[in-house]
Amino acid sequence: MTSRLLLLLGLLLPLGAVAQEPQNLDAVPGNQENTLTWDAPAPTTVDDDETVVCYGVYRDTEAIGSNDPEDQSEKRIEGIEAAEGTAPAYTDRDLSAGETYYYRVGAEVAETEDLPASCGDAGTQVSSLSNQVSATPLFLKITEPSPPSPDPVDVGTAVDVTADVRSLPPGAEVLLRYREGGESTFEEEEGDGGGELDKTIPGARATLRGVEYVVEVRDEDETLAQAPSDGTASIRTEGPVSPPRQPGDTYRIVSFPTELDDPELSNIFEPLGSYDSSEWRLFSIGPSGLTADGGYVEQNELEGASLSAGRALWFIRRNGGALDPVEGTSIPVDQPYEIQLDEGWNLIGNPFAFDVPLSQVRVENTAGSLQEVFGYNGSFVNQADGVLEPYRGYLVYLSGGQNGTLVVHPSPEEVSATTSSARAPDARWAVDLSARVGQARDPMNTLGTAPNATDGVEAADGREPPPIGDYVSLSFRAPSQDRGLWRDMRSTGGGLRTWTAEVRTNVSGLVTVNASDISSVPDDQSVWLVDPVLDQTQNLRETPTYQFPASEATDARSLRILVGPSAAVQRRLGRDADRPERVELLPSVPHPVRSHATFRYRVPERTRATLELYDLLGRRVATLVDDESVGPGTHTYAWTRQNTGGTLSSGAYLLRLQAGDVTRTRRLVIMQ
């Protein structure tokens, strides 16, 4: 009795994991392939101790009559691992044209305690097979020109595109879609029906930008197949590459889109004659980076040196003008272009003959990050979210202490969401400083605080670009860095903060430093400038412009910017709110005076001030400050020889200050 009862119970209990068969199997034809999709089954046992391990795909060129997997085992072509959270699918490729294929799918399950398990393991159980579906794959082939990269065609030459489509579904159409490189939309040409396409890309579209095209089979708005099967095909074009006109006596970073037939510098610059540094010059970043003093290497040896696509050089030409055209071939526009970067500074160019947004540029193969890209039009320009233009070159910085690869995507459809470019943190407040002397400008310098910034040097802090030619450069001193920063963002903590700005120039004249966007700093924070050389302080909220004279031989001038609560700033300045007790005319710096000097004076209260220069015979030579209203404190006047027409001869002079009813005079020696 007992044994018969146990036997009956055993017959009633499940002997193993058995899954419901997959549901809603569907097949969609493609180019020499069919794509299957189905719904994952649910276990039919009384508990949740079973797991779907994989799916078996069954295929035949005739209808699969039985849904018993044991009867159809020889028709099983693939096992597809099940992935939680992913809809199951399978693409059956390399199929024959004109053949109809039939499919069923089965699920293999195992008890959870027996995991891990694989398809076909002895412990797995196979469900009944799913519903049956069939599909006839398309056969789409471009016969002319031969993809993916036919021989280049001459600029302006029309291109015939022919394609053959077999097993075209009823109602479907064949399309040729094409565009010039860099364009965002395609032009379309419909086939003539019957599964054939014979169309022409007009010669007007065959420019140095290159051409990309694709042939598609569509059923209403759905693309059933395309050739090439992934992306587009590229047609390269060849012809004269004509650089734009170069302004005279002005540095520019130059580059050539396309692959030049002869990229040697001797060929590119041949019309200018032999290298002559008095008429034209080239500079590059050397194989070991910048020179020891942070400069560029003159590229005066043209033979054996070349300028390949994606590379750039500094170029200056006394008389300006355009270089003669050179022959080149467009870069394929169906794939990204890679430029190898060294750690630190690199001169790069756009390899394509059309604008490429910086959103389509990233770095790979490195743990470093790409700093902002700098253009140059007489001063450096941060491209930020701009574009790479053809023929222009750019200066970029790769941080992280290692080399990497710059990837330039010609089409926005190819851009990955992942980028290794550094981005500035969102500022809580930011002040911009600019510097100028003569024609030299440095308009791009930022200090401030941001919630996600740190007080150390980080990737998003911008490195000051190395200058060239007649320059003025303002940068913020960075700890443990051999070069300064053009952008220095700090954390948002309270208290006093100090930035040290270093101003360098190789131009004699009056240096003007100007602060803008000070209104972004909270009202309860003071913003002061300190010039330790002149022992001069200035409230930048009241007077945002500061000047001092410089000569070519002047070392870097360090200025400090203090931002914080008023009491803390005043303590750091080493004084309280007391005013000078009397009118004083302080010694000039330097003295004796040669090409430049700073004249200083103090007044105890607001008054009108006049500062004049006399010779020893009492004749007025120049009026420097003409009856201006000045507040209490120390004031400066930055003088250069040009302020007095450059005609002052060497000798002794008298500097005279009239402040209200008080007069002060100091002897001054000027030397050639």
Q: What is residue 50's DSSP assignment?
A: E
Q: For the residues 440-449, what does the mean pLDDT come to? A: 93
pLDDT digits (tens, 9 = 90+) for 396-415: 999 877 899 999 999 887 55
**pLDDT, position 452:** 83
Return contacts of 477-484, CB within 8 angstroms, 24+ apart. 477/501, 477/502, 477/558, 481/457, 482/294, 483/294
Q: For the residues 369-395, what does the mean pLDDT come to? A: 91
pLDDT digits (tens, 9 = 90+) for 35-47: 999 998 765 433 4
- The model's confidence at residue 464, banded by pLDDT at 50, 70 and 90, is very high
d(CA 496, CA 502): 20
The DSSP element (H or E) to which 341 belongs, if any, is: strand 337-341
Amino acid at 159: V
Concatenate the DSSP letters of all residues of 571-635 into one string: HHHT--SPPPSS-EEEEEESSSBSSEEEEEEEESS-EEEEEEEEETTS-EEEEEEEEEEE-SEEE
Q: Would you state the structure tokens that stand for residue 376, as one six-digit string?
A: 């140059």
Contact assessment for residue 407 and residue 391, using Cβ atoms and an 8 Å cutoff: no
- The model's confidence at residue 541, banded by pLDDT at 50, 70 and 90, is very high
Q: What percent of the chain has pLDDT over 70?
A: 91
pLDDT digits (tens, 9 = 90+) for 284-316: 999 888 988 889 999 999 999 999 999 999 999
Contact assessment for residue 174 and residue 196, using Cβ atoms and an 8 Å cutoff: yes
Is the pLDDT reported for residue 2 higher than 60?
no
**pLDDT, position 481:** 62
Contact assessment for residue 459 and residue 422, using Cβ atoms and an 8 Å cutoff: yes
E strands, 399-550, are 404-408, 429-437, 440-442, 446-449, 472-476, 487-490, 497-505, 509-516, 525-531, 536-539, 545-550
**pLDDT, position 552:** 64
How close are the terminal C-alpha atoms of the chain, in Å?
Answer: 129
d(CA 51, CA 638): 83
Contact assessment for residue 651 and residue 669, using Cβ atoms and an 8 Å cutoff: yes
Q: For the residues 150-159, what does the mean pLDDT come to? A: 94
**pLDDT, position 485:** 93
- Non-local CB neighbours of 659 within 8 Å, separated by 6+ positions: 583, 601, 603, 607, 608, 609, 630
Q: What percent of the chain has pLDDT over 90?
A: 58
More confidently predicted of 537 and 154: 154
**pLDDT, position 482:** 60
Range with the poorest average pLDDT among 366-370, 376-380, 465-469, 526-530 = 366-370
Q: Would you state the structure tokens that stand for residue 145, as one six-digit string?
A: 């020109």
pLDDT digits (tens, 9 = 90+) for 592-641: 888 788 899 989 899 999 999 999 999 999 999 999 999 888 888 888 87
**pLDDT, position 5:** 41
Contact assessment for residue 479 and residue 454, using Cβ atoms and an 8 Å cutoff: no
**pLDDT, position 479:** 66
**pLDDT, position 9:** 38
Contact assessment for residue 537 and residue 528, using Cβ atoms and an 8 Å cutoff: yes
Is the pLDDT reported for residue 113 higher than 80?
no
E strands, 61-132, are 76-81, 89-93, 101-111, 125-126
| Pairing, β 472-476 against β 297-298 | unpaired
pLDDT digits (tens, 9 = 90+) for 48-98: 677 888 999 999 999 999 999 999 999 999 999 888 778 899 999 999 988
Contact assessment for residue 316 and residue 247, using Cβ atoms and an 8 Å cutoff: no
Is the pLDDT reported for residue 579 higher than 70?
no
Residue 69, SS3 per DSSP: coil
Is the pLDDT reported for residue 425 higher than 70?
no
**pLDDT, position 554:** 65
Concatenate the DSSP letters of all residues of 193-241 into one string: BTTEEEEEE-GGG-STT-EEEEEEEEETTEEEEEESSSS-EEE-EEEEE
| Pairing, β 326-329 against β 297-298 | unpaired
d(CA 105, CA 127): 9
Q: Would you state the structure tokens that stand for residue 650, as one six-digit string?
A: 């060497």
**pLDDT, position 576:** 43
**pLDDT, position 116:** 78
**pLDDT, position 533:** 84
Taking CA atoms, 409 is separated from 416, 474, 504, 555, in Å, by: 9, 34, 38, 43
**pLDDT, position 577:** 45
**pLDDT, position 1:** 45
Q: What is residue 343's DSSP assignment?
A: S
